[in-house]
Amino acid sequence: MANREIDEDKLNQSLRKFLKQVGVTSQRAIEEAARKAAADGKAGPLKVRMVLSSPDGSLDHTVDGEIDLA
């Protein structure tokens, strides 16, 4: 199998488009979860996990964090 050169400009443009979509939709989902937690009387930070993977298994990246609801 021959190695192909990556078009850095196309990669960067495509990556930015994907990350913008992820950011916008993720923010909406987190805001909804935060409102629900507040309505349910839950205190403290909202624990979150973002999992990034590819169907072929070549990518598996997880980020854990907390969103302050105060």
pLDDT of 36:
93
Contact 26, 50 (CB under 8 A): yes
**Residue 58 to residues 5, 14, 40, 42, Cα–Cα distance (Å):** 18, 18, 39, 37
pTM of the model: 0.78
Q: What is the pLDDT of residue 4?
A: 86
Nearest in space to 22 (alpha carbons), one of 58, 55, 52? 52
Report the Cα 70 to chain-centroid distance in Å: 22
pLDDT tens-digit profile, the chain (70 residues)? 567 899 999 999 999 999 999 999 999 999 999 999 989 998 889 999 999 999 999 999 999 999 998 7
The domain limits of the chain are: 8-67
